[in-house]
Amino acid sequence: MTVTVSVLGSGSRGNSTFIKTGQVRLLIDAGLSRRETASRLESIGEDPDGIDAVLVTHEHNDHASGLKTIMKDLAVKAYLSQGTMEALRAEDFAMNGSQLHTIKAGEPFSIGDLQVVPFGVPHDAREPLAFSVTCDGVKVTQLTDIGHLPDDISGWLAGSQVLILESNHDLEMLRVGPYPWTLKQRLIGRYGHLSNTAVGRFIRDRYDGGAEYFVLAHLSSRNNHPELARQEAVRALNDRGFSGGRVEVTRQDRPTEPIRL
What is the chain's pLDDT, residue by residue, as a tens digit (261 residues)? 699 999 999 999 999 999 999 999 999 999 999 999 999 999 999 999 999 999 999 999 999 999 999 999 999 999 999 999 999 999 999 999 999 999 999 999 999 999 999 999 999 999 999 999 999 999 999 999 999 999 999 999 999 999 999 999 999 999 999 999 999 999 999 999 999 999 999 999 999 999 999 999 999 999 999 999 999 999 999 999 998 889 999 999 999 999 999
Neighbours of 258 (CB within 10 A): 15
Would the pTM count as exceeding 0.85? yes
Q: What is the CA radius of gyration of the chain?
A: 17
Beta strands in 112-167 (DSSP E): 114-120, 129-135, 138-143, 162-166
Q: What are phi and psi of 43, to 5 degrees?
A: -65, -20
> What's the CATH architecture for 4-260?
4-Layer Sandwich (3.60)
**What residue type is 25 in one-letter code?**
R
Neighbours of 168 (CB within 10 A): 27
